[in-house]
Chains A and B, each alone.
Chain A
Amino acid sequence: MSQSRIRNFSIIAHIDHGKSTLADRLLERTGAISAREMRDQVLDEMELERERGITIKANAVRLDYAAADGREYHLNLIDTPGHVDFSYEVSRSLAACEGALLVVDASQGVEAQTLANAYMAIENGLEIIPVVNKIDLPAAEPERAAAELAAVLGGSSDEAIMISAKTGEGIDELLEAIVSRLPPPEGDPAGPLRALVFDSFYDTYRGVVCYVRVVDGQLNEGESVLFMATDVHAEAADVGIRRPVPERTGRLETGGVGYLITGVKEIDLIRVGDTVTIAGFDAPEPLEGYREPRPMVYSGLFPTDGDDFERLRDALEKLRLNDSSLMYQAETSKALGFGFRCGFLGLLHMEIVRERLEREYDLDLITTAPSVAFQANTVSGQPVTVRSPQDLPGAGSLVSIEEPYVKVMIIAPSEYTGTVMELVQSRRGELQEMTYLSPERVELRYSVPLVEIVFDFFDQLKSRTRGYASLDYEPDDYRVSDLVRVDILLNGMAVDAFSAIVHKDKAYVYGKAMVERLRELIPRQLFDVPVQAALGSRIIARETIKAKRKDVIAKCYGGDVTRKRKLLERQKEGKKRMKMVGQVEVPQDAFVAALRLGD
């Protein structure tokens, strides 16, 4: 297929605005088989995949479309994840496309969450087709939605395609627009192979399956390929497309999209953003935009039951097969025993990992307050990476602490400019640039310490702009900052898992907020428990958890015995999820108390 008849695109839509219904409808309209047959077939295949324990991930689907001009086109629909933690993955998926459908609900209009991806698409040079969905709804206001899209995209509201993915109305027009408005790929068919890896996952039977977009040259089965960033050589064992049923084609043409299986088993060796080329060729320049997977947030993961340490290790090993951005190394805490210090892309990623470990591997875990990677400069001249507050060298050998900064881009309605600036300044942000994208929309660029934005910044930004601001950030540099470690003492004993590295100006406020929060979160014990915050040996805040005075059910007679026992059993189960720290029972969520200081 000539590149002129290929269109690579993604769908950008707010959750619930009909992305998957639209994808289904496009599949159905372009499929040679009926809607029901297709559905059955797809489901059957998924059933099979489930039985074989394969991850279901149809992230790039080819639609064969006979256009009104009488020609056959290959339309490659590429899926994208949808959260700021995964913005790098989104950017790579978008880099595999020439165009995007920006879908909004006719009754809801433009939503903030869609905008970050839409702007990213524009930044990647994609052509955007505005689409107004759900025009069949009684509450639909298609004209208003189209006008909003036009305001965002800077075009005219006539450009929007009006559809109902549910009824199928407008789908034909949309397919024609994909062909006529989106540009074809413009790779060099004669050049050496360069293919972009935009997604990868681990399959128990096949090893790593990656999705690629061929930019230049062709990808043929049987050839020896090279993954340039990781310098991994392998054979292209299986090359094909999905429609969404996998179809082994043995070859992907210039501009085409499909899967590549090489037999490589370690997901870490095949990274999103990497360039695939032919081994042995005069290596071409890799495609632009590759980034080493780099954790932004570190946190300790400890089993509530110390005996589960080995199970946790196994579970992390298995999870990592499918998630190359997850990093971990063994860590020991005086308070929590043996566990792992883990690196995550962001808090959502951390939440997802923790949830999967608990649900899929039946582990009961304690997560410690997230931190970022600081760098400690010591008298020996040897810098030390500090991923956990405990790793901070003592005052005797410490010269200075550097902290990571990030470049932050915020796009918000201009009426919120003041609010946003206030927020970012409170987070030690330095304004770099401010641009009015339109009279109504402003783009603010800042340099901000990473530690100030990884926790609740996104939530704060959303709530202060009524959801209308979008955020993206990328690593900048390390800078020396006036940082200190605040320790927390429980019942007179320092609890390493509660320590945090914070800016000196915020230490007092932080310490005070932490001890107050812990007083609320830690249940009353059989004795008074002092909770203190300390800078070195100096106590900067103190609260006391008063001893509990009543813990008894007033009545227990014949009929109550079974009920009382069951009630106590339930309460006992609740206690199981507590961790004994010294003589004090501490609930799991107290260890991430620092995250909830604003509540």
Chain B
Amino acid sequence: MPSWPPSDSVTSNLAPPLGEVARAKRGTEGVSSPDDPALADDAADLKSAYLHIPFCARRCPYCDFAVVTPSERTSPVARYVTALESEIVMEDPWGPLDAVNLGGGTPSTLQQHQLAALLKALASHHTVATGAEISLEANPEDWTDEYAVQLVAAGFTRVSFGIQSFDPAVLASLGRQHTPEHAAVVVDVARRAGVASVSLDLMYGAPGESEDSWRQTVERALDLGPDHLSGYALTVEPGTELSRMVLAGGSAPDPDIQADRFYVLAAAAAEAGLIRYEVSNWAKPGHHCRYNLATWAGAEFVGFGLGAHDHRDIRRSRNHRRLDRYLESIERGERPRLGSEALDPWGREQERVMLGLRRVAGVVTGGAGTALLSSAEGGRLVAAGVLERDGDRIRVLDPMLTDAAARAVLSVSEGDC
């Protein structure tokens, strides 16, 4: 059984190896391109864990995740971390884990010893594979040399910074607390501390953004030389402050402008040597996010924390989104489940193709893909140049129209293939 954290620490892991099972299957070492079909498909065998850290200094107007801000913080962070440790051991041991992802909320609101304790709980109960990807999301304003060094010591190999923009007006409209100056230094700080893989998140189509400011944001982000880049279109989620503003007559993101922004980003990222491997994600070879690849390959994963989801034994479950209910459940010794669903085999097959089509590598055609291709809508998608058949795979050629194909997949029935 591999031990964790790895004794050779993280410095030799600039190109994190594949998960053990996947590696055994591929039988080769070496650095894969992030859009490699074999890499995409093998991710189905990865084992990963998600930990949700809900705390944020304030809720961003577009965010609809399970978030706890100081005003509604009825319990100390410590109580939550303890609960999370308890929840981790409530799950039957499942490992070794190839990827661990801490999302939020803002995981970087936790102190390094709290983060270390969580990783330790995962490692001792579920075990973590040698060379596993241990990733967290961080806000630039929380990031210091000292914190970075401590996290690397605790075992983190990857950090993803919520930069969003280098335009102060856009940052303000998104409700972000950091400044462009904060953002400009975080990559260097991470590198100095020895973080193996650094990712930046950008967001386009926000109020106040111009084409120029977006071009500058993209340029400045790429100048920092990130290993990985995510670019998201601002989305109006129901129930958010943003959706209330839009309902009240505020300007909604314009999908055509967002498409323009995407193509600006895509061109610049390619120029900088980043390879797109999913609708919104780019990476240098060897720096793909394993946790995410696992998701798109339909791999099972365990999830812990407020509002967290998991996918085990073909069942997708979700936790309470209210902090008091979550904590009380755990403290009673119960899994804090809000609900779950298990798809029938055809539903899983549709979901496999729906998720797989988000990847540049596309997806093995299979039953749902065959039904899609033989459907009238599938024919139209192919004719319009949105969908392509390539050997035993299908893929979406225009990532901005992925959901047109996804809806078509969900429309086909088993008898259609």
Q: Which residues of A contact B (CB under 8 A)?
A: 526-527, 548-559, 561-562, 565, 568-569, 571-572, 575, 580, 583
B303 in the interface (beta carbon within 8 A): yes
B256 near A550: Cβ-Cβ < 8 Å: yes
Given A550-B259, A572-B411: A526 in contact with B401 (beta carbons within 8 A): yes
A549 near B316: Cβ-Cβ < 8 Å: no
Total inter-chain residue pairs, C-beta < 8 Å: 97
Which of A551, A553, A558, A565 sits near B410, CB closer than 8 Å?
A565
CA distance A553 to B384 in the complex (A): 20
Closest to A549 in B: B259
Which of B296, B351, B380 sits near A583, CB closer than 8 Å?
B380
A526 near B311: Cβ-Cβ < 8 Å: no
CA distance A556 to B281 in the complex (A): 11
Contact with A along B223-257 (1 / 0, CB 8 A): 00000000011110000000000000000000110
A557 near B351: Cβ-Cβ < 8 Å: no
B308 near A559: Cβ-Cβ < 8 Å: yes
19 contacts between A and B (CB under 8 A): A526-B381, A548-B401, A549-B259, A551-B255, A551-B401, A551-B402, A552-B279, A552-B400, A554-B232, A554-B233, A554-B279, A554-B280, A556-B295, A557-B292, A557-B295, A559-B308, A562-B316, A565-B351, A572-B407
Closest to B261 in A: A550
**A359–chain B nearest beta-carbon distance, Å:** 25
Given A552-B402, A557-B295: A571 in contact with B380 (beta carbons within 8 A): no
Chain B residues with Cβ below 8 Å from A558 are 50, 291, 295, 301, 303, 309-311
**B397–chain A nearest beta-carbon distance, Å:** 12
- For the complex with contacts A554-B235, A556-B358, A571-B407, 10 further pairs of A-B residues with Cβ separation under 8 Å are A526-B380, A526-B386, A548-B255, A550-B256, A551-B402, A555-B280, A556-B295, A556-B296, A558-B311, A559-B303
B172 in the interface (beta carbon within 8 A): no
**A369–chain B nearest beta-carbon distance, Å:** 27
Closest to A574 in B: B407
Interface residues of B in 283-331 (CB under 8 A from A): 291-292, 295-296, 301, 303, 307-311, 316, 318
For the residues of B in contact with A, the DSSP-based class is helix
Chain B residues with Cβ below 8 Å from A583 are 380
Closest to A569 in B: B410
Contact with A along B187-217 (1 / 0, CB 8 A): 0000000000000000000000000000000
CA distance A580 to B375 in the complex (A): 14
B400 near A551: Cβ-Cβ < 8 Å: yes
Interface residues of B in 356-387 (CB under 8 A from A): 358, 376, 380-381, 384, 386
User: Which A-B residue pairs are the 3 nearest by beta carbons?
Assistant: A526-B384, A559-B309, A549-B259
A553 near B262: Cβ-Cβ < 8 Å: no
A561 near B407: Cβ-Cβ < 8 Å: no
B376 near A555: Cβ-Cβ < 8 Å: no
**B138–chain A nearest beta-carbon distance, Å:** 17
- How many B residues touch A, CB cutoff 8 Å? 46
B316 near A552: Cβ-Cβ < 8 Å: no
Closest to B316 in A: A562
B406 in the interface (beta carbon within 8 A): yes
B403 near A553: Cβ-Cβ < 8 Å: yes
CA distance A580 to B376 in the complex (A): 10
Chain A residues with Cβ below 8 Å from B262 are 550
CA distance A419 to B341 in the complex (A): 62
Chain A residues with Cβ below 8 Å from B110 are none
B303 near A575: Cβ-Cβ < 8 Å: no
Which of A550, A561, A568 sits near B400, CB closer than 8 Å?
A550
**A581–chain B nearest beta-carbon distance, Å:** 13
**B388–chain A nearest beta-carbon distance, Å:** 14
CA distance A373 to B189 in the complex (A): 80
**B379–chain A nearest beta-carbon distance, Å:** 10
Of A561, A569, A572, the most chain B CB neighbours within 10 A belong to: A561
Closest to B204 in A: A554
A552 near B399: Cβ-Cβ < 8 Å: yes
CA distance A559 to B317 in the complex (A): 9
A559 near B351: Cβ-Cβ < 8 Å: no
CA distance A583 to B380 in the complex (A): 8
CA distance A545 to B224 in the complex (A): 41
Chain B residues with Cβ below 8 Å from A575 are 407, 411
CA distance A575 to B316 in the complex (A): 27
Chain B residues with Cβ below 8 Å from A548 are 255, 401, 404
CA distance A580 to B377 in the complex (A): 10
B354 in the interface (beta carbon within 8 A): yes
CA distance A453 to B295 in the complex (A): 60
CA distance A415 to B274 in the complex (A): 74
A550 near B255: Cβ-Cβ < 8 Å: yes
CA distance A569 to B307 in the complex (A): 22
**B321–chain A nearest beta-carbon distance, Å:** 11
B258 in the interface (beta carbon within 8 A): yes
B50 near A559: Cβ-Cβ < 8 Å: yes
